[in-house]
Amino acid sequence: MSYGFKFSTRTKLMAGALALLLAGVSHAQTTQIGGGATLPSVAYVGSNAATTTNLQYFGTATGTGIASGSLFGVYEAQTNYPPVSYCLTGSGAGKDVLAGGTISGNTYNVQNACAKNTNGVVTGFGADSAGLVALNEQRTDLTQPTFAAADSPLSASDLTNYQTNHGSTSWPTQFPVIAGAIAIAFNLTDNTGAQVTSSEANFTDSQICQIFSRQVTTWDQVSSAFTLPAGRSIPANPINVQFRSDGSGTSFSFSNHLATVCGTIGGTVFETSQNFVGASPAVTSNFFTSAPSGWTGASGNAAVAANIKATANSVGYVETANAIASGVGLQFADVNGTSPVTNFGTALSLVPADYVINNVINSTNASNGQAQLQAITSPPSTSCIVLVKPSVYAQPTRGGFVPSGSYPIVAVSYFLGNAQGNESKDLTNTQNLVDAPYNSTITGSVTTVGSGKGLAFLTLGSGAFSSTAPGACLH
């Protein structure tokens, strides 16, 4: 006699559907939600991040998918690791979304759409975006991002913003992840109407300083930067400058170089800031407070690259990796005889002398405009806020963080997180994610970083923090 139960086909189908639904719910509750910096976005999600079409990349969805050879793609491929969603907000907005709350008239929240608002600012990471809903990977439960990324380190005001929304005893975490070259791109034709090419352009630091301080305003004034065939010359056309209008780590790192190498020009200096023109402190505020005629700001690297390509007699600073991947065909100048493509990409070794613990950038720069470090008052007892000294990558020095002979205009990008309050169901996955840049099993399979790509991983030299320190800081 059999006492077993017999299920109808309908019952079996219902049971199967319920199992799939429960699996989907479990999957949706572990998606890692982050965003921020655009400079390393090609490394993080793949070459599609260089376009202006999409701001959010996640899972493996066609058109907005994370590429298999990218950092997040390799992370997702590990056994039992969840999908990642990354929103390209820019560094300044990325830190503000991590902080949450209302900052400079914009209200930031991880649930807000990954799209520009009426002020042209992205105020969220799209945790409940339509794309994630379609993939059943949305995170309506999140009250804070699982991680953020920035090419400009935490400033004193960033820390204040964070603690205003999270509480005075709560702390962000910050660890360096990757370095990237910032290229000087241009669109210029000679007296014959022929395009001036990358191989014909080599700016000195002095010429870059003159252009971006507006000491020179026509291209013939820097004609010595170009080596042209006989019979060709540089016309006296106005120099049109394209720059980042949003709070940008690319602007911070470009100005870090300018403030270091330019010195005093006409009695004043460049300021190191993520704001290039206008908002105080701004890179050019000592020269002018609003963009001069012929200077055009754009939000995001892709928009700046597109403006350079579309505007005759233009020059601007762009993220090398994204500009290459965009396919718009920009011309990149050498700087001091080195290329942002061929002379950058070898892994850089990070040692304790290169960074400080529990420091932030003071928004008030010194008389020379260079970034100033400020120890955190009553700091946390942990060593979870790591800041690479801007001075060690402001220009190549023999034996320094950026070795002699390397391309000189460099950015360092960070992963940021929340030391407290991470969702318990996310914790292990988030720890693995922020440790990924120092996990050789993962980085060894990443194809979007390295020689010829304008991006370099950081390796940990003798005495540096451990490869699992970033994850250990999350609770």
Q: What is the pLDDT of residue 61?
A: 67
Q: How far is CA 316 from the centre of its chain?
A: 17
Q: What is the pTM of this model?
A: 0.91
**Residue stretches of the chain with pLDDT short of 70:** 1-29, 52, 61-62, 398-399
Instruction: Output the six-digit token pair for 35.
Output: 């965003």
Say if 31-179+348-361+381-388+412-472 and 181-335 have the same CATH topology. Answer: yes
Q: What is the pLDDT of residue 14?
A: 43
d(CA 65, CA 59): 6
Q: What is the pLDDT of residue 441?
A: 95
For the 31-179+348-361+381-388+412-472 domain, the top CATH level (class) is alpha beta
d(CA 413, CA 422): 22
Contact 36, 89 (CB under 8 A): yes
In the chain, what are the domain boundaries?
Answer: 31-179+348-361+381-388+412-472, 181-335
Q: What is the pLDDT of residue 473?
A: 98
Q: What is the pLDDT of residue 9?
A: 44
Angle at CA of residue 200, ends 208 and 205, nearest 5°: 20
Q: What is the pLDDT of residue 2?
A: 40
Q: What is the pLDDT of residue 421?
A: 95
Kind of pairing between the strands at 314-319 and 240-244 = parallel
Q: Which residue's entry shows tokens 């520009």?
A: 116
Look up the CATH number of domain 181-335: 3.40.190.10
Q: What is the pLDDT of residue 203?
A: 98
Residue 145's alpha-carbon distances to 228, 270, 370, 386, 441, in angstroms, are 51, 34, 31, 19, 26
Q: What is the DSSP letter of 81?
A: P
d(CA 338, CA 344): 9
